[in-house]
A and B are shown apart, each in its own frame.
Chain A
Amino acid sequence: MTTTHPEHAGGDQPVDLDDPDLSRFDIVRAGAREDDIEIVHYEPQVVPGSKAERRLSRTVALFFLLTGVSATAFLAIYIWWPWEYELGYGGDKWYTPLLGVTLGIALLGIGFGILTWGKKLLPKEVSVQDRHESVNERDRIITGQTMLYMADELGVKRRPLLGVSLLAGLAPVGAVAAAPLVGGLISQPHKNNQMFTTGFAPTDDGQKKVRLVREDGRPIRPADISAGGQITVFPGIEHGVSNKYADSPALLIHLRDADAQEAREANVRIGHDDYMWGNFAAYSKICTHAGCPASLYEQQTNRLLCPCHQSQFLITDNAKPIFGPASRRLPQLPIVVDDEGYFVATSDYTETVGPDFWERP
């Protein structure tokens, strides 16, 4: 049955649904015409009962059965496969891949089954539908006038007091809606001077200097770091190693003699005369660009590199940024060794730690 460009026998006249000669397709086509759709081409792809039809049906059935098998396999694996994590190589490492493969095949089976059914077994058709984008000028005018008349009825023009008072009354209501959200969320950024202090600020009213400690909380002696070596240090206070003091971590570097000399001279140039102790210098580990830990230290060039955006800081020149997007040097932590032979911070960082912001002095 090929219907190509059927004659518009009755034009747009509705067909007689009681006509016994009318096939179901005729009704469909007549219905489509009522929606301004013309089915201009309708062509079965397979002859009913043909070999091709049987073959395609078998293909579709095969896809659906594959889905059944694969989904069953998924369930069996889900239930019986050893899935609990074990160290080393084991069957549990295959659990997720097997689930993925069985689920994937099951879903692809449905997908390809439906696609084959739709694309190969169903008749091909070309239909043409009108877009109807023409504007109805009359309706535009009527709707416009109706809306204008609504404004007339409200009489805002004649009674301006109403409009003004409504606005004046509603504006605070809008603010009321926003107030709890803004008021609840807002938080003063400079509470306790938090943006300019870290865990290294001396405790007990500036009497007690804070020790530099390792990740496990042990204090550090100068002999612990060999020349050219470095270690991440934290304030030796409660929770000093945790994210509560995310701005505090510093890199304690033991410079070689020549480098240390250069670094000391650079220190003197900017008035940081006694920030180093011997050949040791400590710089904030928090990048002044976006706050990542600048943690890749290259011994040979004395550069500290931040792996996030590749800012590079020259340690022998007050950790000045020499490449990349950072624009400010890493703050230096002034250090000495206390009576017991451990490193302490003589004061907090004297510059602001971390990413830059508007009111940073």
Chain B
Amino acid sequence: MKRRKFEMAAVPGNAARGVDDRFQVATPLRRLLNKVFPDHWSFLLGEIALFSFIILLLTGVFLTFFFEPAMTEVIYNGSYAPLRGTPMSAAYASSLDITFDIRGGLIMRQMHHWSALLFMAAIVVHMLRVFFTGAFRKPREANWIIGSLLFWVGFLAGFTGYSLPDDGLSGTGLRIASGIMLSIPVIGSWLTSSIFDGEFPGTIIISRFYIAHVLLIPGLLLALIGAHLGLVFKQKHTQWPGPGRTNDNVVGERMFPRYALKQGGFFMVVFGVIALMAGLFQINPIWLFGPYEAWVVSAASQPDWYVMFLDGSTRLMPAWEIYIPIGDGYVIPPLFWPTVVLPGVLVGMSVLYPFIEARRLKDHRSHNLLQRPRDVPARSGLGAMAVTFYLVLALSGANDVIADKFNISLNAMTWGGRIGLLLLPPLAYYVTYRLCLGLQQHDREVLAHGVETGIIRRLPDGRFVEVHQPLHREEGELEYVGWVVPKKMNRLGALGPAIRGFFYPIEKPAEAPVSPASPPVDSDTERSEITSGERR
């Protein structure tokens, strides 16, 4: 029998045909490969959060193999000599084992912690980008809400995570958390007692936090992130205004291969930076804090950065206790307002913002083009207000350290924070509003009169005027299109581009230094004469 010739080259084609026969993937796959994504550096901030989350999952799974979520008391007998013979919980002992007795355990722990910090930071910065550019407007309100929730779920993930080692610092955090839950009117004591199974600290809280941290919260995060990305994919990304860009199209690159390559490369860069940080910068050195003991605390006990603004709000809150004289009397402790009510109000405000703005502006159209922050002074002012509010709180969360390092009275820091929290946000609103208007005016001025050239000319009557280079030849103002207006002569190609190359000149002269996302400005071969901006 003659054997059929086996053709290696035909294998991929045949395999592909076989797959398509069964699953009919050719059409959807072509759509996916071709999908167009707009490109701008600010669109990468959310990806940092996504990539950090993937690293969190990878390193987190490693840690679960060695961590023992139990509060059983054991006598530590591991390699770390200073704590040998100390009674501690099994959770803390196994955290020390991960650090000292498992090869490479410390770098995994530090990568986990650093990527958690980066995850939250990227979420916040991404959220600011989305807010200030108006990317949350219709049709993307749902994704804005999911994003806001992601911050708070990430917050919970972070808190349950750093409580697990049961060290001196995290135990203090847990103690405060129990105090916060206790402060809730009516149900406080029942809630706390149910979560801790009795009085703080009880014996079960670490295992409950563990299952929340490794299953329930990551599951929720995965679901929310999936929905978030799915919506971005379905609704297509927003884009900046520019030549050829309209509300009804997407101008950019097809997803494969270039865009996807850049994403993959960026993931590796984020991963690499986290690995470097984990190796070089110590984070959460639990062995220095010792096991948690209810009566031990040190000065400068600060939570992770994303919790600090709530620590600050707690510090600034005046001691206003509400006493209700019914029966034996009931209290609403001052702790309730800055730790339960404030976060609730913040969630509500961020979730509702897109709808409030649309209602106020009576704007119910769909928007796929981004806005420059200067073009929407009221929104930018509100954003600056929120950022200032947040910063005052976050700094107040470290007011004892600031007082200590700069030799300021601690009480003065607290009072400064209280007053600053009320005065600075409105001030930030006003300043930002004026800045936006000023920037707008300058854009219009350049569009009307041209770019400043730095050339001063003396007129026959003795006056001095600065010569302006108009941006176009016709009379009249150019219309503002919501994108960067060139303001320097070399943005117009007036100066020859620098020769590139570090050791020797690179053969091809570089392009004019215009960011690829900004509209290309063609340098005219015949330049019009440089004139003063004035028209007579």
Residues on A lying within 8 angstroms of B by beta carbon are 31-32, 34-35, 37, 39-40, 51-52, 78, 83-85, 87, 95-101, 103-115, 117-119, 122-123, 125-131, 133, 185-191, 194-195, 232, 234, 242-243, 245-247, 249, 285-286, 289-293, 295-296, 307-311, 321, 323-328, 354-361
Contacts and interface: CB of A to CB of B under 8 A. Distances in A.
Closest 4 interchain pairs by CB? A100-B279, A111-B268, A118-B261, A107-B272
Given A291-B200, A310-B315, A185 B194 contact: yes
Nearest to B32: A35
A87 B335 contact: no
25 contacts: A37-B36, A52-B507, A84-B79, A100-B276, A100-B277, A101-B280, A103-B272, A104-B276, A108-B268, A115-B265, A115-B266, A125-B254, A126-B253, A127-B254, A189-B192, A234-B295, A242-B73, A289-B179, A293-B294, A309-B311, A325-B319, A356-B335, A357-B183, A357-B188, A358-B188
B320 interface: yes
B399 A310 contact: yes
B473 to A, nearest CB: 24
A88 B200 CA distance: 37
A184 B250 CA distance: 53
A324 B312 CA distance: 12
Interface residues of B, number: 111
Interface in B473-521: 506-508
Contacts of B321: 327-328, 356
B183 A243 contact: no
A111 B317 contact: no
A307 B300 contact: yes
Contacts of B72: none
Interface stretch (B98-106, B146-154, B212-220, B377-385): B98-106
Contacts of B262: 114-115, 118-119
A20 B44 CA distance: 42
Contacts of A356: 182-183, 321, 331, 333, 335
Interface centre among A84, A97, A114, A293 (most CB of B within 10 A): A114
A360 B333 CA distance: 10
Nearest to A31: B30
Contacts of A357: 182-183, 188-189, 192, 331, 333
B201 interface: yes
A243 B178 CA distance: 14
Contacts of B301: 292, 307-308
B273 A189 contact: no
A286 B294 contact: yes
Nearest to B414: A310
Contacts of A128: 36, 244, 249-251
Contacts of B249: 128-131
Interface string B367-385: 0100000000000000000
A6 B414 CA distance: 66
A309 B272 contact: no
A187 B253 contact: no
B466 to A, nearest CB: 37
Given A37-B34, A103-B107, 18 more contacts: A97-B279, A107-B269, A117-B261, A118-B258, A125-B254, A125-B258, A126-B252, A127-B251, A131-B248, A187-B190, A291-B176, A292-B297, A292-B301, A296-B299, A325-B316, A327-B320, A355-B333, A357-B331
Interface centre among B107, B179, B267, B273 (most CB of A within 10 A): B179
Interface string B251-288: 11110011001101111111111011111100000000
Interface in B178-211: 178-180, 182-190, 192-195, 197-201
A242 B294 CA distance: 8
A243 B201 contact: yes
Nearest to A47: B508
Given A103-B279, A115-B262, A127-B36, A358 B189 contact: yes
B411 A323 contact: yes
Given A114-B261, A129-B36, A358-B189, A97 B254 contact: no
Contact of B261 (A99, A122, A359): A122
A112 B265 contact: yes
Interface string B20-57: 00000000001100111000000000000000000000
A51 B182 CA distance: 71
B200 A97 contact: no
B272 A310 contact: no
Contacts, number: 300
A151 B107 CA distance: 59
Contacts of B193: 187-189
Contacts of B457: none
B198 to A, nearest CB: 6
B62 interface: no
A85 B183 contact: no
A178 B320 CA distance: 37
Contacts of A289: 179, 333-335
Interface string B332-353: 1111001000000000000000
Contacts of A323: 411, 414
Nearest to B287: A85
A111 B315 contact: no
Contact of B297 (A40, A100, A293): A293
Contacts of A189: 189-190, 192-193
Interface of B: 30-31, 34-36, 73, 79-82, 87, 100-101, 103-104, 106-107, 110, 139, 172, 175-176, 178-180, 182-190, 192-195, 197-201, 236, 244, 247-254, 257-258, 261-262, 264-273, 275-280, 292-301, 311, 314-321, 328-335, 338, 366, 368, 399-400, 410-411, 414, 506-508
Contacts of A247: 199-200, 294
A198 to B, nearest CB: 10
Contacts of A361: 328-329
Contact of A360 (B272, B273, B331): B331
Nearest to B293: A243
B178 A99 contact: no
Contacts of A191: 198
Contacts of A52: 506-508
B139 to A, nearest CB: 7
A99 B271 CA distance: 14
Contact of A310 (B236, B271, B400): B400
A100 B176 contact: no
Contacts of B194: 185-187
Contacts of A78: 103-104
B252 to A, nearest CB: 7
Contacts of B330: 358-359
B278 A100 contact: yes
Contacts of A286: 294
Contact of B298 (A83, A100, A307, A355): A307
A101 B36 contact: no
A327 B333 contact: yes
Contacts of B334: 289, 325-327
Nearest to B103: A83
Nearest to B184: A358
Contact of B265 (A83, A105, A114, A308): A114
A103 B279 CA distance: 9
A245 B277 CA distance: 40
B294 A249 contact: yes
Contacts of B139: 133
B267 A111 contact: yes
Contact of B189 (A110, A115, A190, A232): A190
A186 B190 contact: yes
A307 B410 CA distance: 11
Given A107-B275, A290-B335, A133 B36 contact: no
B275 A325 contact: no
B254 A100 contact: no
Interface centre among B172, B180, B279, B298 (most CB of A within 10 A): B279
A127 B253 contact: yes
B279 A101 contact: yes
Contact of B178 (A291, A311, A359): A291
